[in-house]
Chain A
Amino acid sequence: MSLLRRRKPINESSDSKPLLEKEGEEHHEEDHDEDEDDGNGKNKKTPSKIKKKPPPQSKWSCLDTCCWFIGCICITWWLLLFLYNAMPASFPQYVTEAITGPLPDPPGVKLKKEGLEAKHPVVFVPGIVTGGLELWEGRECAEGLFRKRLWGGTFGEVYKRPLCWVEHMSLDNETGLDPCGIRVRPVSGLVAADYFAPGYFVWAVLIANLARIGYEEKTMYMAAYDWRLSFQNTEVRDQTLSRIKSNIELMVATNGGRKVVVIPHSMGVLYFLHFMKWVEAPAPMGGGGGPDWCSKHIKAVVNIGGPFLGVPKAIAGLFSAEAKDIAVARALAPGFLDNDIFQLQTLQHVMRMSRTWDSTMSMIPRGGDTIWGGLDWSPEEGYSCSKKREEDDTQITDQAGAENAVCKARSANYGRIISFGKDVAEAPSSDIERIDFRGAIKGLSAANTTCRDVWTEYHDMGFAGIKAVAEYKTYTAESIVDLLHFVAPKMMARGTAHFSYGIADNLDDPKYKHYKYWSNPLETTLPNAPDMEIFSLYGVGLPTERAYVYKLSPHAECSIPFKIDTSADDEDTCLRDGVYSVDGDETVPVLSAGFMCAKGWRGKTRFNPSGIRTYIREYNHSPPANLLEGRGTLSGAHVDIMGNFALIEDVIRIVAGASGEELGGDQIHSNIRNWSEKINLQLEETQVYSSR
């Protein structure tokens, strides 16, 4: 209160009021104080005082009104807060039901009534970005954050000390491991990825539903890992793969020998592919579990939204640190993110940080032109965004052919993942003049020193290098890898030691025993586990980034020289804001999520020598009907699908013991079968030999 009194007169003297009135105000204030302090004693004096007072206008100053007003609001707020806290917990649900009609039972409750019970232990493998990271050792600027989440949770620290945060989240540029004196580690346990931020569920809904049929901590395990590292490095630094192995063995042993069901999501899919190879590889490089470890311990792998063959989004992220969302924001408020005056350079910081993360390179499209299409063809060609709605509901297989013929002329060239300029993206390949960038000399940019300390490898490229990149005009999946080698040689040198993006000619080649091939489904064989099942569950019906139209940044000196050309739009060819989109779950195109299960591993192929059965389960996206539903129970979006009731039901049936056949086999809404047909990939070993 004393502080308050001191403050008030100062404020008021700053007002340009006549002296007399001010005196009156102070008088009035005294009045107040007396009233508050000892109201009883002064009671009888007050009426007379009121009469003495100067004109009433001055008594109720603006400041008082403000305080009064704030007071009112506070009281209301507290009252509401109190009401809210005193409210029975079922009230929101009641309101929702009153508006939208009774909600369907959550799948856990429904299936419990059917008599399903916990049977197989469950292992969750979270994807990139969704897992929490916490600080174990940091620089001075991160004091007081010990064991607090740097990633996930409220992200409060990002706003408070952004540079410090970026520094701690980055890895070492050379090794891809911890920088000196900084240890950021994954949060362990189910809390690692149940909620990404407060209220934004990732695994929480699935966990809650599994708990309904009897799952608990001893039968559920979240295989949290540091998603910034390359997969093998998680073992080198944290022994994460060994922990997963030991935990799976423990769960199988304590649950009466029942095999585990593994549920990876997003990048976790690749991580688990890596794990399956690692665990059977002999000891120095692998886990030494022996050749039948997988068949002994794993019943099924239920991949949710798996980017088996990579995602084009990763390219945009690595190339210019932006994706569709950022590009749009950039177009709306130009100069805000890159503002030199505020010294923000946000994107450069983000880029520098994300380029130290090896894991982002695991998502670069794999399989090159064979899978993703060349200059003039792509498996998805003929896909039309505007027609998509009707198509989805009817049977597609017949339509696709006809549609192909009609739309041929105006179809997007999805094969050209990056094109410079819209005209280049649309022109026939013969019309594009390309100058090979690979030999181009990188000049040192003179402006380098003025760019402050934000280091991205673009500074080393110089104008000549940048120009060379733009001159090549358009890039397909194969040349993208070369492009990235060109623009970010250090990063790619690190990355290619851990990941590979090709297609194996001969899988028996001893070089494929190296761990860098383990996470690429086109360069590994599945383990010898004929009883295992592989599911691919993903959402369809959402436009998903597939190819980009780029342009040179106007002020290329001190920032990222390329950016998405958000002005490029074309209704017919699915081009919007410089991004060509295709069917998928908003992040992963159908092709990447479905191809391996639809064709690459279907039956006995050379990638799947023991004939592990594969199933595709697609879920059509339908947006939530109203705001009250939150993120919806029918969503097909990459993360929101984890709350999709149909998907949860499938998962629960599997963990309770059902096989893929009992589930209903494939459930396909998209064109994945047609598109897979178009991909010409050798699947049988004999053919490989005969072709040599």
Chain B
Amino acid sequence: MASILRLRKLYYVEPAVKCSSVRFESLDESPKIDQKLGKKEEDVICANSLALEVKNKRKQAKEWRCMDSCCWIIGCLCTTWWLLLLLFHCWPVTLLRAPELPGPGVRLKREGLMALHPVVLVPGIVTGGLELWEGRSCADGLFRKRLWGGSFTEIFKRPLCLLEHLSLHYGTGLDPPGIRVRAVPGLVAADYFAPGYFVWAVLIENLAKIGYEGKNLHMAAYDWRLSFQNTEIRDHSLTRLKSKIELMYITNGYKKVVVVPHSMGAIYFLHFLKWVETPPPMGGGGGPGWCAKHIKATMNIGPTFLGVPKAVSNLFSAEGKDASYIRAMVPGVFDSEILGLQTFEHVMRMSRTWDSIVSLLPKGGDPIWGNMDSSPEEGHVCDFSKKSHSQTSLSDNNVNNSDVKRGFQVKGLAKYGRIISFGKAASVLHSSKLPTVDSKEFSQTSTSQNLNISCGEVWTEYDEMSRQNIQNAAADKAYTSTTLLDLLRLVAPKMMRRAEAHFSHGIADNLDDPKYNHYKYWSNPLEMKLPNAPDMEIYCLYGVGIPTERSYVYKLSPNSRCKSIPYQIDSSLSGEDNSCLRGGVYFADGDESVPVLSAGFMCAKGWRGRTRFNPSGIATHIREYRHKPPTSLLEGRGIESGAHVDIMGNSALIEDILRVAAGATGDEIGGDRIYSDILRMAERINL
């Protein structure tokens, strides 16, 4: 390589020398000589500035000058750049940093806090890194390189190869044959998602300030694509976590562990709590006192206890709010048939092989998420202009009487219960005016019509649906969270069959029913009992004050003859100022991903006190953090953010975690701290 490089350099030096000499002699008389300087190489590079000068009469001279200037400019830029780079590197580290407040770790250390309880971090979906252990030939040279997380350069280099490797087997939800992609272990798994984009790094750094290190800090990395029980079956992730917790408990002087799950990690850890106390063939065999003995507190950050509506749109049409905006702005780039991109189809196909997304579908059905005409959040006033809710509107809405409401405020009210509606009309009309949804009518009359053979080889289950069924499903209907599951079963029967062996989305009538011993109920807080651990504490820490996707208005895709996703969010729809409808999406309060309802309900009501879901009366605490956007660009992602991931850098949240890890109880850090309507919403839910 080096020798080739040298050759190339020589090759370039030569013309350089030539030009300079030529320049001296020839400017006045002979442009011919200039021609010698074959512009073949620089052609491309100069093309831009060249274009301006083509018209000029003295063509050769001009070209020559262009090449000059180009090289000259680039040379100057490079030199300056290197100079600056050198300065930057020689710069004392301390000078670069703006004088900033000491982080919570330093502050608390001065207060005398010390590492006490070992800490286990449980990352959520998407944020954990995945690396390749065995792959097809297209993934040569990527052994033990990150496919997910890190710089994602491979996505641009070989996108199809990457999609293939990140997908799981459609039938089993496990590895496809010949491909092994595994979770990155250790703290590096999720400290940074991409370079510079922290997830856990800030928290880890602050924990280290008060004395945490490898022996009392553990990242329970797992393959977030798999269903929770499958992480145990394939990787023994749950057994490893159990053994790690036991080890840390013993080596740190019999101090119980503080667990900090984030996002989907919260329900993963719920699953773990049940698994570890269940006898061996299905569970970990830790015995009934395991949690009481080993766990001091679970501090759920932005937990998705009851699911997130975002997962619906993801599974249904592979788009979120952001994607649908882009789609509206540049139609045809993503779906361009000419380029053969079919981005959405690829993404959908991949994400539908991930069982874990199904775990995020809204749980609890209509009693939690609302039915056709009412929802716990109704009356929420979206204020995109960042004003806080006025107290008056709240009290108005509080009059939970449907006919009064219809009388005077019905226009502005979003019907959040209808998580998917087709057409704006379906999203606002009263339920009696809508056609009833009957899942029976979705009987698959004609299975495979195979219109789409010519449409590329991207296979999604939509290909197997007949056109008739697609339209039937859409026709001016609205779906609540219960009927939504039927809809998904219709559009993706195989995926739902696979995933529903691992997850359940209902509400238990009788928790003593022996069927609830099955692992598929373990991650649903409404179908499992918390372990018998009266000294344990459960925290719900989450951000509020950011509009969060709550329900969607859909339409049929226009060119659906050759498209395999027949639905898309109707992003043209926006309500007036006070409405929560924006770009086809109704918003509610939350942390941008998880609505308050999902994050807070279990702590606010479902587990509060001694309930049937919490028979031993584990103490629950809600800590909300109001979102404040960073004031300047310099602040990066802010230290007061409430957004789903950015909250991990929120100083107040970090302080709470540090205090608990250093031994404080929930009451000592101030008990509940509530800004949102969660208590009111929780009251409306009738369980």
Contact = CB atoms under 8 A, between A and B. Distances in A.
A508 interface: no
Contact of B75 (A56, A57, A66, A80): A66
Contacts of A32: 69, 72
Contacts of A144: 93
A70 interface: yes
Contacts of B204: 147
Contacts of B74: 70-71, 74-75
Interface string A50-75: 10000011011000111111111111
B394 interface: no
Given A35-B65, A89-B140, A242-B250, A74 B78 contact: yes
Interface in B246-287: 246-247, 250-251
Contact of B12 (A4, A73, A253): A73
A136 B71 contact: no
Interface string B46-86: 00010011011110010001001111111111111000000
B679 interface: no
Given A76-B12, A146-B208, A216-B133, A188 B80 contact: no
B235 A188 contact: no
B24 A217 contact: no
Contact of A71 (B70, B143, B213, B235): B70
Interface stretch (A36-44, A402-410, A415-423, A442-450): A36-44
B632 interface: no
Contact of B8 (A70, A74, A76, A242): A76
Contact of A243 (B27, B183, B211, B247): B247
Interface in B227-258: 235-236, 239-240, 243, 246-247, 250-251
Nearest to B49: A39
Contacts of A238: 214-215
Interface in B312-334: none
Contacts of B75: 66-72, 74
Interface in A166-211: 183, 185-186, 188-191, 194, 207-208, 211
Contacts of B140: 89-90
B354 to A, nearest CB: 20
Contact of B182 (A136, A217, A247): A217
Given A69-B13, A76-B9, A186-B214, A217 B72 contact: no
Nearest to B153: A85
Interface residues of B, number: 72
Nearest to B84: A3
A15 interface: no
Contact of A137 (B45, B144, B208): B208
B134 interface: yes
A304 B327 CA distance: 58
A423 B180 CA distance: 63
Given A56-B23, A137-B208, A3 B69 contact: no
Nearest to B143: A208
A218 interface: yes
Nearest to B250: A242
Contacts of B80: 3-4, 7
A32 B72 CA distance: 10
B185 interface: yes
A3 to B, nearest CB: 7
A60 B141 contact: no
A194 to B, nearest CB: 8
A339 interface: no
A56 B144 CA distance: 59
A667 interface: no
Contacts of A246: 243, 246-247
A250 B243 contact: yes
Nearest to A137: B208
A207 B93 contact: no
A553 interface: no
B94 A143 contact: yes
A506 interface: no
A185 B73 contact: no
B188 interface: yes
B240 A250 contact: yes
Contact of B72 (A64, A147, A190): A64
B133 A211 contact: yes
A100 interface: no
Interface string A202-228: 000001100110101110000000000
B9 A73 contact: yes
B235 A47 contact: no
Contacts of B205: 146-147
B52 A39 contact: yes
B229 to A, nearest CB: 15
Contacts of B72: 32, 64, 67-68, 71
B213 A136 contact: yes
A188 B235 CA distance: 19
Contacts of B5: 80
A239 interface: yes
B73 A218 contact: no
B58 A47 contact: yes
Nearest to A67: B75
A146 B208 CA distance: 9
Contact of B239 (A36, A211, A254): A254
B429 interface: no
A211 B134 CA distance: 7
B454 interface: no
Contacts of A56: 23-24, 27-28
Contacts of B488: none
B251 A239 contact: yes
B186 interface: yes
B402 interface: no
Contacts of A253: 239
Nearest to A145: B93
A60 B93 CA distance: 40
Given A4-B76, A76-B12, A239-B215, A68 B53 contact: no
A678 B544 CA distance: 79
B143 to A, nearest CB: 6
A191 B239 contact: no
A67 B73 CA distance: 7
A523 to B, nearest CB: 28
B68 A89 contact: no
A160 B205 CA distance: 23
B20 interface: yes
Contacts of B76: 4, 67, 71
Contacts of B33: none
Contact of B251 (A39, A76, A242): A242
Nearest to A212: B134
B93 A189 contact: no
B16 interface: yes
A67 B76 CA distance: 5
Interface string A131-146: 0000011001001101
Contacts of A73: 9, 12
A71 B93 contact: no
B71 A67 contact: yes
Interface string B136-164: 00001101100000000000000000000
B71 A254 contact: no
In the complex, the 5 A-B pairs of residues with the closest C-beta atoms, listed nearest first: A71-B75, A67-B75, A71-B71, A71-B74, A70-B75
Interface of B: 5, 8-9, 12-13, 15-16, 19-20, 23-24, 27-28, 42, 45, 49, 52-53, 55-58, 61, 65, 68-80, 89, 93-94, 97, 133-134, 140-141, 143-144, 180, 182-183, 185-188, 191, 204-205, 208-209, 211, 213-215, 235-236, 239-240, 243, 246-247, 250-251
Given A67-B76, A71-B70, 15 more contacts: A32-B69, A39-B53, A43-B56, A57-B24, A67-B72, A68-B72, A74-B74, A80-B5, A136-B213, A146-B205, A190-B144, A217-B133, A217-B185, A217-B235, A242-B250
10 contacts: A39-B49, A64-B72, A71-B75, A75-B45, A80-B5, A80-B8, A143-B94, A211-B144, A242-B251, A243-B215
